Homo-oligomer: A and B are copies of this chain.
Amino acid sequence: MTSELGVKLREDMLIKFIENLEKHLQNLRICLDYHQIEEFIKTIENARCIFIMGAGRSGFIARAFAMRLMHLGYDVYVVGETVTPRISQDDVLISISGSGETTSVVNISRKARDIGSKLVAITYGKESTLAKISNVVVVRNAKIKTQNGDNELSKIAPLGTMFELTTFILLDGLIAELMSRKGLREEDLLERHAVLE
């Protein structure tokens, strides 16, 4: 058994997970809808302030993206955090929800639309309630929570895992693109990075 440790883990799922994610990344790379991404970027660049939200693990990804946008110099806020002000019609709300049906995300996104703010949905559900009320829909092709068809994948990447990871990756790739467009270097980001931590 000890010698086995050098070869593989008991259930061998970690490797299967990484291999599977590599395939998802190839697919993400090949199937990128540049028109969609460009629309997303323009919405970010034209907004006075950027508001971001998501529930559960999508919420952590939303916050990781928000933090990098702050490092790039954008005025960005996370819905529900302490210093988040009133949203206006000059602002954009970016809502992350795999299914596009998460109660709080849909209700709050609708409120933003009613105020006249731009709304960007990042979702798997291109026919979802969230997608239907959004100005820009960034459709993510990844298995999500409610799909039960792919039995093998549900063992490797349960619930929203693939949606969450590929969304995180797409958004970090977008940061690289925005950073380049703004002519910023790593040092410029570091200058805004919190030190009280």
Instruction: Name A residues whose Cβ lies closer than 8 Å to a Cβ of B.
Output: 5-19, 21-22, 25-26, 28-29, 32, 34-35, 37-38, 41, 51, 53, 55-57, 60-61, 63-64, 66-68, 70-71, 76-87, 93, 102-104, 107-108, 111-112, 115, 145, 148, 154-159, 161, 164-165, 168-170, 172-177, 179-181, 185-186, 189-197
Contacts and interface: CB of A to CB of B under 8 A. Distances in A.
Interface majority SS on A: helix, strand, loop or mixed? helix
B196 A175 contact: no
A110 B164 CA distance: 27
Contact of A79 (B61, B154, B196): B196
A116 to B, nearest CB: 12
Given A19-B29, A25-B22, A55-B197, A189 B159 contact: yes
B26 A22 contact: yes
A32 B15 contact: yes
A195 B117 CA distance: 12
A5 to B, nearest CB: 5
A168 B28 CA distance: 18
Given A11-B180, A16-B176, A195 B5 contact: no
In the A-B complex, the 5 residue pairs with the smallest Cβ-Cβ separation, listed nearest first, are A17-B173, A11-B180, A13-B176, A14-B173, A60-B60
B14 A174 contact: yes
B145 A158 contact: no
Contact of A67 (B9, B57, B174): B57
A197 B11 contact: no
Contact of A157 (B70, B145, B172): B172
A25 B29 contact: no
Contacts of A5: 34-35, 38
